[in-house]
Structure 1
Amino acid sequence: MNAPMAHPMLHAWPVTSADALPLALWTAAEIEAATGGIASHDFQASGVEMDSRDVKSGDVFIALKGEAMDGHRFIPQAFEKGAVAAIVDRPVDFPHVLVKDTTEALHALAHAARDRAIEAVRIGITGSVGKTGMKEAIFACLDRASRGAAHRSVRSYNNHVGVPLSLARMPARAKFGVFEMGMNHAGEIAPLSAHARPHVALITTIAPAHIENLGSLEAIADEKSQIFTGLVPGGVAIIPADSEWAGRMIGHARACGAQVVTFGRAANADVRLLDAIPAAGGGSLVTADLGDRRICYTIAEPGEHWIVNSLGVMAAVRAAGGDLASAGLALAEMGGLKGRGARHTIPAAGGTALLIDESYNANPASMRATLKALAQTPAVRRLAVLGSMKELGDFADAFHRQLAEPIAEAGLAHAILVGPEMAALAEELGKGAGGSLGKALTFAHCEGPAEAIAALAAFGLANGDAVLVKGSNSVGLGRLVSHLTDNARA
């Protein structure tokens, strides 16, 4: 890949070489200035944490108050884990900064971190599917180019607490910040975007995730498009051209004064797929047209959905002023995330089997995409443990039944369905008994993870098998993954 050039549709942001980021993320005086609080002691903090269980040595602990829990109760535990101070709304017998309201203090700290990182280009990401994976991919691309000066929200910290916390953790000398934004109900995206004030805002795709609360795909597209309301003046909106709702999202972006960039397979996409062929290891070799140039790169992640995802990643990297050559190298090296595509080799009768861990999340679009990727995975037999898809409301039965088609196309030998919502799919698969589907597929319907573990043991795994585990996180299929991987390490 060649060095990046100016693109008429993409805003180019200057990137300077990165120095080593400072050890001290916040000093007591800086927290005082940001929050209006009063520090009991002088201190330097290397991190910010809101969960006492996750505190690391050098962190400042924010004692947030929720509907059911008050973080002030866990201040001793935070200091046992190595906290240097706490942000509190009442005096405590530990080093602290006293503020009026700890949630407001978190917001103030987030805004101060955002505003002091004057060189950081901020990228906001939302969408029904692929937020975390694309966030990690964009981060990997920008972090490689900036030699470690990129920052991002960890895990799925994408809500009203996670986004401010992720901002508060951004070092002052960061060159890039990548922030994931999620929602369950209408009205949740705009405040998150207002916190982050992104220079680049990307929507991954629109699918029926959380349709129980939003009511329609149009409403989901409208809510996701609220990410554009927080864009800085002249910011870039990156939109999936292949979406049925692309025009609707483009309208929202233009109403916010954004530059619009589209990506996908569509002939009119600004970042357009030209070709994709299988690459060694299950990934793809992708050729894309960026309007003024063509680029070719390899992605390690398997599946057709990651081919299109990579186009959105490249669009975001270019809009942020990142280096496309470094991005290509990063995509070629990127592996799957825990619960979101991580692959494990596990013991099986006569040898080993492949375990694909997609246990963290599921909706109709991601289920179809992952089953399609499984169908393209070389294996002696293919098995799937599929958990219920949550938050589909009155649409739940229909969306679960519709999985019968991609299951048939995946050529599964065995399927284990987990959770009450999967009863509709079990009924649909049962109709195929004696037909082409019934001859090829044996399935079981289980109540929960423990029963699924027993069912998988009954079906058995043999050398060369591939087993997919996917479901909404609340189903608890991570327990099955842990069971299989723990046995692999035993």
Structure 2
Amino acid sequence: MLDPHAALPFAATVHPEARPATRLTWDSREAAPDVAFVALPGEKMHGNVFAQQALERGAPFVLTDLDVPRAVRVPEGQAQEALFAWARSERAHSPLVIGITGSAGKTTAKSYAAAALEAHFMPVFNTMPAIACFLIEHGRSARPLVVEMGIDRPGEMAELMDLVRPDVGVVTTIGPAHLEQLGSVENIAREKGHILQGTRALVGEQASAFFPTAQDPGVESYGFGAVTHAGQNLELKPEGAEFTFAGVPVQLPLASRVQAEAAVLGLLLAQEAGLDLRDAAARLSGVQVPGGRYRVLPGRFTVIDDAYNASPVAVRAALDALHAHAGAGRRISVLGRMLELGPAERELHAEAGAYARRRADLTFGVGEFAAELGERAYATVPELLADLLAEVRDGDVVLVKASRGISMTPDQRAAAGVGLDVVVDALLQARGA
């Protein structure tokens, strides 16, 4: 329980009616008799506006600078700083914290590492306040914590490191992503590389070129092939991935190489934590990643739902996985726009489209760079769907991948060719799934 009367590492006055909570939220709509509310500054509005609403929903306490019932009241304008200070204090009690970053594969690596370690792990929403709430809620648990640490601007990883202070820092991949703010792949590697300043530094196979272990013995790599910690005898089939690690057989249903590499990370962490590897491997076989992150959905034709987000390195990995689905039907790629790529975005979309043409039998593109992304190009998602649904046949494998465009309206997403989850839904409905 989160006791508001416990001494916070910040100057706070606790209202006598404040009660313990089991969880924290910065969304007043989630406030409940066991969920406390933290009133934080937002892009358009301050959470203080919703403090009364949270109280009416029964929030056991509200972290705020307002004088309201059940307040954990901090100095004016200091609610966010108080939340972060509280999080750092609670994090100090955790026996093991794993921090994971990368240009692609963060959520997958987080899911597999957490399963292998039987750890608490961050939900999808991974802003600084969300991470702080997670650390406060689970910092005193005896179980390890796995935190996804994504960045999109210079200096952000340094801020995250000050908050999370991971014992193990992991970089999954490095590639062009968030170039509008970060500028270059070299800057991306430099910024994300701050996570390797933890006690233990691990990088995925693709990222090892940016953090060569020969030059820095403190950095070790994982994956397959010429890495420090390697899985052996990897086999990729439409049914999934199989390999061995430290002599233990691993089977990952409906998985690709990306998932297999994440599983190696999980097994390595489990081994170093002294856990039974066979038990860890069994847990890995049941990992379920969130929607839109390489979910293989079999049926009359197979749909690969990878529509949550996209970057050049992630698109190439998804296309490689599509190519591995050799069978009676065709391999079809449906690609939409990748966001935040800066001045080089047309060139990067053209490169992705050229790679798609080599890895797929039929390619579709939608949105601003549709012609670069596919042989069949469409301005909007509805136009794409009309042709795609008429084209797909039994036995085909269809990969759907694009960026989310969460700051856009649904109409803007449809026009830009992002947020292709609607395409996944339409395909599943068409095949009767």
Pick the TM interval, shorter chain: 0.7 to 0.9
Instruction: Give matches, 1:274-423, under 5 Å.
Output: 274-278=232-236, 282-288=239-245, 293-344=246-297, 352-377=300-325, 378=327, 380-413=329-362, 415-423=363-371
Q: Which residue of 2 aligns with 1:261?
A: 220
Supply the distance in 1 between the matched residues of 2:225 and 2:302 (Cα, whole angstroms). 34
- Among 37, 50, 54, the residue aligned to 1:61: 37
CA offset digits 1:7-35 (Å, max 9, x no partner): xxxxxxxxxxxxxxxxx2x01212x5344
Supply the distance in 2 between the matched residues of 1:375 and 1:87 (Cα, whole angstroms). 51
- Among 111, 119, 128, the residue aligned to 1:160: 128
Structure 1, unaligned stretches of length 5 or more?
1-23, 144-149, 347-351, 430-442
Tell whether 2:53 aligns with 1:104.
Answer: no
Supply the distance in 1 between the matched residues of 2:351 and 2:48 (Cα, whole angstroms). 47
Q: Which residue of 1 aligns with 2:140?
A: 172
Deviation of 1:81 after TM superposition, in Å, equals 4.8
CA offset digits 1:106-153 (Å, max 9, x no partner): 102211221233xx211011111100111011111111xxxxxx2111
Tell whether 2:389 aligns with 1:463.
Answer: no
Instruction: Give matches, 1:124-163, under 5 Å.
Output: 124-143=99-118, 150-157=119-126, 159-163=127-131
Supply the distance in 2 between the matched residues of 1:250 and 1:208 (Cα, whole angstroms). 24
Does the 8 Å contact 1:444/1:455 carry over to 2? no
Does the 8 Å contact 1:204/1:312 carry over to 2? no
Supply the distance in 2 between the matched residues of 1:355 and 1:56 (Cα, whole angstroms). 38
Q: Which residue of 1 aligns with 2:414?
A: none
Deviation of 1:409 after TM superposition, in Å, equals 3.0
Q: Look up the SS of the partner of 1:275 in the other structure.
A: strand
- The aligned length equals 417
Supply the distance in 2 between the matched residues of 1:171 and 1:197 (Cα, whole angstroms). 12
Alignment TM-score, normalising by the size of structure 1? 0.78
Does the 8 Å contact 1:301/1:334 carry over to 2? no
Deviation of 1:187 after TM superposition, in Å, equals 1.2
Supply the distance in 1 between the matched residues of 2:339 and 2:432 (Cα, whole angstroms). 32
Deviation of 1:205 after TM superposition, in Å, equals 1.2
Deviation of 1:161 after TM superposition, in Å, equals 2.6
Is the alpha carbon distance of 1:481 and 1:172 closer, same or farther for their aligned partners in structure 2, counting shifts above 3 Å? same
TM-align CA RMSD: 2.6
Q: Look up the SS of the partner of 2:369 in the other structure.
A: helix
Tell whether 2:230 aligns with 1:272.
Answer: yes
Supply the distance in 1 between the matched residues of 2:21 and 2:71 (Cα, whole angstroms). 12
Supply the distance in 1 between the matched residues of 2:308 and 2:30 (Cα, whole angstroms). 20
**Paired amino acid for 1:124:** G
Q: Which residue of 2 aligns with 1:188?
A: 156
Does the 8 Å contact 2:97/2:144 carry over to 1? yes
Tell whether 2:89 aligns with 1:89.
Answer: no
Tell whether 2:379 aligns with 1:446.
Answer: yes
Deviation of 1:95 after TM superposition, in Å, equals 2.1
CA offset digits 1:329-386 (Å, max 9, x no partner): 122122342110223357xxxxx33222111110111111111211222462333321
Deviation of 1:320 after TM superposition, in Å, equals 4.2
**Paired amino acid for 1:97:** V
Supply the distance in 1 between the matched residues of 2:133 and 2:213 (Cα, whole angstroms). 28
Supply the distance in 2 between the matched residues of 1:355 and 1:406 (Cα, whole angstroms). 20
Alignment TM-score, normalising by the size of structure 2? 0.87
Q: Which residue of 2 aligns with 1:477?
A: 420
Supply the distance in 2 between the matched residues of 1:166 and 1:450 (Cα, whole angstroms). 39
CA offset digits 1:387-446 (Å, max 9, x no partner): 101111122111111123332233333x332221334335xx4xxxxxxxxxxxxx1322
**Paired amino acid for 1:262:** S
Structure 2, unaligned stretches of length 5 or more?
406-417
Segments ≥4 residues shifted beyond 6 Å: 486-490
Is the alpha carbon distance of 1:382 and 1:55 closer, same or farther for their aligned partners in structure 2, counting shifts above 3 Å? farther
Q: Which residue of 2 aligns with 1:237?
A: 201
Is the alpha carbon distance of 1:359 and 1:242 closer, same or farther for their aligned partners in structure 2, counting shifts above 3 Å? closer
Deviation of 1:241 after TM superposition, in Å, equals 4.5
Is the alpha carbon distance of 1:80 and 1:465 closer, same or farther for their aligned partners in structure 2, counting shifts above 3 Å? farther
Deviation of 1:179 after TM superposition, in Å, equals 0.5
